[in-house]
Structure 1
Amino acid sequence: MDELLASLDALAAEDLAPLFGPALLERLRPLLVAQNRIAAEVARTVRECEVSGAAEHDGLKTMGSWLRGHGHLSDAQAARMVRAGRALAHLPGMAQAFAAGAVTGEQAAVLGRVAEPAALALAAEQGVDLAAVDAVLTEVASARPHADTARAVRHYLDRLDADGPEPDPTEGRRLAITRHADGSVTGRFDLDAVGGERLQTALEAVVQAGRCAGDERSRSQQQADALVQLCDTALAAGRLPVLRGHKPQVIVKIDAEDLFGPGTHPGAGEMGFGAAISAARARWLACDSQVTRIVMGPDGVPLDHGRSLRLVPPHLRRAAEVRDGGCVFSGCGAPTSWCDVHHLLEWVNGGPTSLANSALLCERHHTKVHHGFRVERQPDGRWRTWRPDGTEILTGPRLTGPPLTAAA
């Protein structure tokens, strides 16, 4: 182990800057093989730890919990590693390819589903030659992408239990959401094939409808924005289940001084689920929201609760939708249902809530405008957009050569 660590130290000390494409790729290939071989040794050790009950030494019951706590692995990673270790004894072909570095740890975990007790019992009942299955699946894993390995395993398991009861798709669905100290959220989910197809179809519809000129977002960013847009559309439609007598809505609590002041004031606003946001973001949210005045006493008890005021009344929104037809930011084609009504001169600075002072902007471009971009409606009804540096965002083809002239 000392020699292995010393070799890793030597690799880490190498300067990669002088290397170019082919040389870097040649360096990467054996590293991937080494990574797989180390993963195989980890899986083999995890299995022996499980058999011997080694986790009890640290006061834990399972190797999965040990890997999560001591190895800092996620639930899914720990489960995959345990499954891969258990499969080694039943799938010697896979174990050999894994040890040689031809199979990844993730592929080994997928192949491990073949060696789970229920699958082994069904295979024994039907007289399945597990050695032949091991050879075929290992060959697929060694030569094909990970998706093909998962597909081959799924095909085998489906045929193995072709007459079994159709599983309840809701049984395996999971969604875990983690909120971080800065209010941001991460999570992971597991969906059955039909549920996953529904989600992908809905997201893809929003992604394709929201593509605009000059969109430099990555695919993952587009899908994340689409997920937020789906939630925003559902909340705005007002058809979600009622919560404690009220329609679900995004709530922000902020002091009047912060809301009406000019500063950014990080952490000035508190949202319904506890996240803290800046006063600047609260002002952005308030552009097209209801505002309720609540007077608090010195002991924190509300003394007065004013009537909620809708900053943009329905008739004004309808007029803006008819006039603008969608997001007015240059190059954007987001429909009206995705848009907020933005005050060109912010209402906190005295801007009137009027059609002349309004512009439809989708969430993404509404944020841009509150961070330095500017939109302006021309006398002929066209909208123009400027970047924070004062340059205008133009769309359409650009003529770079001399203007064309007609021949005499």
Structure 2
Amino acid sequence: MGADGVVGQLTGVVASMAVLDPETLDDQSVRESVLALLGCANQLDAVIARFTRTFDDRKLFHQDGYNKTTLWLEAYARLSGPAASARVRAAGVTRLLPKLEAAFVAGEVDAEHVNRIGLTAERVGADVVQDAEDILVPLAKIVDPDTLRSACNYLRDEALRDKSTPPDRQYARRGVTVSRINDMWHLAGLLDAETGTLLREALDAFSPAPIQGDDRSPAQRRHDALADMLNAVMNNGKAPTSGGVRPHIGLLMPVRRYVDLHDHSGRPAASDETAATPPAGAAPSPGADAAPSPGADAAPSSGADEVPFFRAPADGNEPAVMDGWGPIPDDLASRLSCDAILQPLLLHPDNGVPLKLGRAYRNTPPALRRTLAARDPECRWPGCRIPASWCDSHHLREWVRHHGDTDVSNLVILCRYHHVCVHERGWAMDRDPDTGWITITRPDGRPYELGPSRPKVDGFRRGGGRPPPDRGTATSDPPPE
């Protein structure tokens, strides 16, 4: 029986289980079923790892316009970045450790155990984990993932202490990760000797001896010193640009809210006429860019086909949105925008009319790039999550041959890989002028399964779902640049 037949049988069994009501079973049956089903889930995860490994080996992601299995899984399986990485990691480490794969297939370990061992292999090297396979696999069969993590951390620490490890192998273990946890960022890293020394010296320089009344902990003082270091680099203009724009904290807020937050006179909130014009005299600061949007106070637009990228409520006073984070409290928005460079983005309240530059520029200037990133915080290819700072701006109607304008309505953010797909591999993009949705057509003319990709609205990205069934086949009009 082929794979299709086996998968079909599995689908049928799962469907039968889905209609089985556990409330009709006795206690012992429920208990035994839970354990048996968890074992089956482990076995199925092991099978998925095998298929994922073959998928990755054959580079089948290229058929669907992606250049990595992790990105393909994020788009097609709707997995988060960490979940997709865990799937690919399981595929790799089970090839590396055959005894681990056998335990996985038998349902004796679960995906968390496998992922923990895979992470250790990435940090200390495959050979170190292979040498410890006879210890790690039996341990994984009898302990929970947290206990296994302690053992893996011990293995990692011992490997780092091993003076016989070649310097290049030690250096390969360096790395820094920044991840969001609730309302904070989590920073973790392993630094080489020189970088670690530089960081310690810099933190010491920005952390003078505590004065009387300073009740911060040492860790809190190092945090604040790191913040001062980052601000110093950005304010002195020493940081390189990213995507043509220098690093900054970007805020998007209606002018009415901006005026209300910065009106310390005790007078009533600004009138509509006042809110329509950004306040003058704000001292420039490279650390933060505030982009006040007139929201509901903006004048109607003559361009009916502009891409909507910000829809304001009727009162035009929704919370400020910080790039890469989302809505933020008023007190933080007030402080960040107090000493910021103001870039007005004149937006219609219904369709979000953006800044227009026409054909004055061939390349996207920084001011327009910020506007574009407000609408497209990520690559606009359906399912792609590459941030705008790593992407290119692409003319839907080519600037030279088809006289396309360098305006937000004719530009989209595309990562380099998908930019190449459009220009060199025959993929086509189509933009709906009424909604701003982007749909894709394959090189052979078939519509792409994912999409449409939608512009950012109300400070959040809407999109990624499958297209409505009546949208038909996407076409390329105008031709891609």
Q: Same fold (TM over 0.5)?
A: no
For the pair shown, the structure with the greater C-alpha radius of gyration is: 1
TM-score by length of 1: 0.45
Higher relative contact order (CA 8 A, sep 6+): 2
TM-score, with length taken from structure 2: 0.39
